[in-house]
Amino acid sequence: MNIVRFAPSPTGFLHIGGARTCLFNWLFARSTDGKFILRIEDTDTVRSEKKYLDEILESLKWMGLDWDELYYQSKRFDIYRDYAEKLLADGKAYKEDTAIIYKVSASCKVRIFDVIHGEIAVDTEQIKDQVLIKSDGSPAYNFCCVVDDALMGITHIIRGDDHISNTPKQILIYEALGFKLPKFAHIPMILGEDKSRMSKRHGATSISEYKKQGFLPEALVNYLALLGWSAGNDREIFNLKTLIKEFSLKRVNKTAAVFDIEKLKWVNGHYIKSLDLEALTDLIIPYLKEKKYIDDSYDRSWLTGLINLYKTRFQTLDDFTSFTSFFFTENVHYEQEATEKFLKGTDIADNLERLKSVLENIDSFEIKEIETEVRKLVDTLGIKAGNLIHPLRVALTGTTVSPGIFEVMKFLGKDRVLTRLMSVIKKIRMRADMLDKLSGL
């Protein structure tokens, strides 16, 4: 049976790179009917914190990555000390004060047979003696990692290629303890778009941040799978079941993967479009409540219709709150470029005022009736439809981009449309009067 592990340290939140490593391990285990172990490497008792542990566990659950066994290194200190004492007794290690240190033999070569990178050879002259137990009694990373991997029967160690430098050190300890070597597979790093190592300057780095921004777990998992792995064709959308069926270490790339936030948004948008409307509404409601756009008395039927109107336009759940803010607040943000282009001049104010009068007389404020009356007015005014509809759109939404304006008017409602038009007409006339007065100076 193939047995793999993911071993995060609770000294920080789950990083996007760590999540991808976890995913590859999980997929390998599930695709081969193997076992996936989660091991919390919390030997650093000073920096390890419960808030980080909770976030790591919650993020993995959110992504749908379950585990078969769970271990905490902080509960295994006695095991590590026993194996360190064994090496000491065998003359393979020595004491330095209270620390136990493994003696690295000189003039030897350590060979790594990496599943992805092939053979890697390292001269032991480049490796210094390895600390097994630190002076404070805690185990060193390379030592407890080897002990745990061996005792837990790990058959494949799949991790980032930034760990390649640790592998020869660990192989020496495997051999010293007489443990069977696992297979190593070092997967490529994830880089930012500037080809430097992924960091906060490239945007969000933790899984919880992406969750907060409104990315769906299915989309994030799908995108992470594409960072360094390919199914061997042009497909880019995979659910977990498909990933399990098609995943293979043989298709993992050797070169670093570049994280593209726009590609992630595209994938997320695909999953949003595919979601059941009621389920999507349930996901969006917390974002609207957080911004105080709605409370518990909201009209679900109205909201579901609005979400359906915008469903193909937003790529994250938080995008929806940005795109639709003018439906929930009277403090509309008017884009300067839009107002300069479409809301200047008394002729615009006159047209909008005529429109306001027409709309006031509509009994049933439904899409078809609104459109009919607007187009009648266009014909009466003898202007192109865009000369009325573009200013109308900006007046109601603050921007030049929205779904169909008649649908927008329906969801805004008659009273709000009339109030907003009246406010904009007044501002256009005030500005025109001011400019007239200034031109007379």
Catalytic residue status for 427: no
d(CA 323, CA 400): 12
pLDDT digits (tens, 9 = 90+) for 222-276: 999 999 998 878 889 999 999 999 999 999 998 899 999 999 999 999 999 999 9
d(CA 402, CA 415): 20
d(CA 249, CA 101): 35
Q: Decide yes or no: CATH 1.10.10.350 for domain 336-439.
A: yes
pLDDT of residue 441: 45
Phi, psi of 54 (to 5 degrees): -60, -40
CA distances from 392 to 246, 348, 420 (A): 51, 9, 10
Domains 3-73+189-265 and 76-187 share a fold: yes
**Closest to 4 in 3D by CA, of 20, 25, 19, 24:** 25
* Positive/negative CA dihedral, 311, 314, 315, 318: negative
> From first to last of its 441 residues, what are the pLDDT tens digits of the chain?
999 999 999 999 999 999 999 999 999 999 999 999 999 999 998 899 999 999 999 999 999 999 999 999 999 999 999 999 999 999 999 999 999 999 999 878 999 999 999 999 999 889 999 999 999 999 999 999 999 999 999 999 999 999 999 999 999 999 999 999 999 999 999 988 877 776 655 556 899 999 999 999 999 999 999 999 988 788 899 999 999 999 999 999 988 999 999 999 999 999 999 999 999 999 999 999 999 999 999 999 999 999 999 999 999 999 999 999 999 998 899 999 999 999 998 999 999 999 999 999 998 899 999 999 999 999 999 999 999 999 999 999 999 999 999 999 999 999 999 999 999 999 999 887 776 665 554
Cα angle 408, 327, 346 (rounded to 5 degrees) comes to 70
d(CA 216, CA 315): 10
d(CA 30, CA 247): 9
Give counts: helices (H), strands (E), the chain. Answer: 19, 12
Instruction: Enumerate the β-bridge partners of residue 18.
Output: none
| Annotated domain spans of the chain | 3-73+189-265, 76-187, 277-328, 336-439
**Closest to 335 in 3D by CA, of 397, 392, 285, 378:** 397
pLDDT of residue 145: 97
pTM passes above 0.75? yes
pLDDT of residue 261: 94
CB atoms within 10 A of CB 171: 19
CA distances from 394 to 129, 316, 357, 386, 423 (A): 70, 24, 18, 12, 13
**Closest to 187 in 3D by CA, of 249, 144, 235:** 249
Catalytic, out of 61, 200, 254, 341: 200
d(CA 6, CA 37): 6
Residue 297 is classified by DSSP as: T
d(CA 350, CA 275): 44
94, containing H or E segment? strand 93-96
What residues have CB less than 8 Å from 130, skipping those under 6 apart?
A: 101, 102, 104, 140, 142, 143, 169, 172, 173
The CATH superfamily holding the domain 76-187 is HUPs (3.40.50.620)
CATH architecture assigned to 3-73+189-265:
3-Layer(aba) Sandwich (3.40)
Instruction: Enumerate the β-bridge partners of residue 84.
Output: none
pLDDT of residue 436: 62
pLDDT of residue 231: 83
What residues have CB less than 8 Å from 365, skipping those under 6 apart?
A: 359, 409, 410, 413, 414, 417
Amino acid at 119: E
Q: Give the residue carrying structure tokens 């769970």.
A: 70
Per CATH, which fold does 277-328 belong to?
Helicase, Ruva Protein; domain 3 (1.10.8)
> Checking DSSP bridges between strand 99-102 and strand 118-123, what pairing results, if any?
unpaired
